[in-house]
Amino acid sequence: MKRIAIITGASSGMGTEFTKELFLNSENYKFGKFDEIWILARRSDRLKNLKYDLEKAAENNCSKEYPEITAIEIDLSGTKGVTAFNAILKTTKKVESKNGGFEIGLLVNNAGFGTYGEFTETPLDKELEMIDTNCSTLTGLCGLAIPFMNEKSTIINVASLAAFLPLGNFAVYAATKSYVLSFSVALAAELKDKGIHVLAMCPGSVSTEFANVASNGARKEVLHGYPADKTVKHALKCASNKKHIALWAPKWKVTAFFSRFIGRFFGARFTFIHNKRPYRK
């Protein structure tokens, strides 16, 4: 039976780092062997470049076997994206049924984005698309993937440090990530008896394209961002060791801990006044 790992949002940032680490160093974790890694994103050129680079790296190291990389160009946003993903699973099931079938050993729900600025000052369609991608898509992909999982399978849902407290100037994003955290922990509890493990990854500032997208180009880089590769390796280690929440940097752990002692309104009001986030209209 073919065993597959699936990574969404693989064309940049942490999605790319998840792909590299699982392709090159999967033996460092307890997920078992993957025969194939699906990398999903809208930017097919980046997926193809990532696939090419990894296959070249594999050619230069013949001492071990590497999984096959399958690049899939797809817009996963909302119900349409979930439907498109379901069609891929159905096609794969039909094809692989002749070869003993397939199973999903790992699902990394990394696709998502944020939008900076006051809620009333940012485009409403962008905020609604964010809810679709960060919440609906993630939920739908979990629902579709679980029937193909077994007692050795794992789900990693990328939440955020923003999940622990409502944030002014980041209202919808923080709310979507709070959903991801709550959903992931509850799902972990429900799937425990089936042996399927679920991890909520909750990074703070990471050096990716996030700020450029969130600010619509007003802020090119994430301020004080931590390395994406180290953040990803820590999350994979936590998932491999059956932990339910991944917080790598000590600063993030402290912030998450003390957030429980801060009133929700106070936290939102404080960040609204003191943590202004730019957005280019």
Q: Residue 217: what pLDDT? A: 79
CATH classification of 2-274, choosing from 3.40.30.10, 3.40.50.720, 3.30.420.40, 3.40.50.10860?
3.40.50.720
pLDDT of residue 111: 96
Round to the nearest angstrom and report the end-to-end CA distance of the chain.
50
Q: Give the residue extent of every domain in the chain.
A: 2-274
Chain centroid, CA 147 distance in Å: 20
> In this structure, are residues 247 and 83 in contact, taking their beta carbons and an 8 Å threshold?
no
Give the pLDDT confidence of 114-172 residue by residue, as tens digits.
999 999 999 999 999 999 999 999 999 999 999 999 999 999 999 999 999 999 999 99
Q: For residue 48, report the phi and psi dihedrals to the nearest 5 degrees.
A: -65, -40
Phi-psi region of 170 (alpha: psi -120 to 50; beta: other; left: phi over 0): alpha
Judge contact between 102 and 4, C-beta under 8 A: yes
Mean pLDDT across 215-235: 86
Instruction: Note the pLDDT of residue 163.
Output: 98
pLDDT of residue 5: 98
DSSP secondary structure, the chain, as one string:
-EEEEEEESTTSHHHHHHHHHHHHHGGGSSS---SEEEEEES-HHHHHHHHHHHHHHHHT-TTS--PEEEEEE----HHHHHHHHHHHHHHHHHHHGGGT-EEEEEEEE-------S-GGGS-HHHHHHHHIIIIIIHHHHHHHHGGG--TT-EEEEE--GGGGS--TT-HHHHHHHHHHHHHHHHHHHHHGGGT-EEEEE---SBSSSHHHHHTTTS--S-TTPBPHHHHHHHHHHHHHTT-SEE--SHHHHHHHHHHTTS-HHHHHHHHHHH-------
Mean pLDDT estimate for the chain? 94
- Single pTM value for the model: 0.95
